[in-house]
Amino acid sequence: MTRIYVIDAGVLISTWTDKKKDASFITTPGIIQEVRNRLSKFRAETLFLLEKMQQREPSHDAIAYIESTATQTGDSSVLSKNDIDLIALAYMLKNEGFEPTLVSTDFAVLNTASQLNLPIIDPNDKFSQRITWGLKCPACNYKTKSRASSVECPVCGTTMRRTPLKKNKKS
């Protein structure tokens, strides 16, 4: 099986891809459009020219699956369309028999991918725990597993905030 790195826009800002000499990279067309920084653009264009990187759209089925997983982990409110597509691409490649590793600096992306047991790399090495999010009332400390992005506290009516309910050490 072929190891393939599914890379986020933030990864192209760093020199991470430069260090992976014999690796294959893949990303989504949406992520490429997100790349604005000149050095990152140059890096992406070079990888395309060298045929070390491809771009591919994830399937609708994969996107729907990731959306439902992100709702369960509580990450859906902070994931962009591009984030969802990128995780869906990694998930789809895994189902096709590849060995995808998702490379991102975005904790919500890494968190959702790790819940799906997709291998992940944080080039900055800051992501260490996977988190299940819930809501907490800042006034009375009422907690709920509700995954809604914003909801009023049933006890005191204050707008509740996203809070980590459960942390698992990275496996």
Task: Give the residues lining the site for Zn ion (CB under 5 A).
Answer: 137, 139-140, 142, 153, 155-156, 158
Query: Of 31 and 137, which CB lies nearer to Zn ion in the complex structure?
Result: 137
Query: Of 72 and 144, which CB lies nearer to Zn ion in the complex structure?
Result: 144
Query: Of 29 and 154, which CB lies nearer to Zn ion in the complex structure?
Result: 154
Query: Of 41 and 161, which CB lies nearer to Zn ion in the complex structure?
Result: 161
Alpha-carbon span 44 to 47, nearest angstrom: 5
* Closest distance to Zn ion from the beta carbon of 22 (Å): 55
* Closest distance to Zn ion from the beta carbon of 157 (Å): 7
* Closest distance to Zn ion from the beta carbon of 116 (Å): 33
* Closest distance to Zn ion from the beta carbon of 143 (Å): 10
Half-sphere exposure at residue 165, Cβ-oriented, CA atoms within 13 angstroms: 18
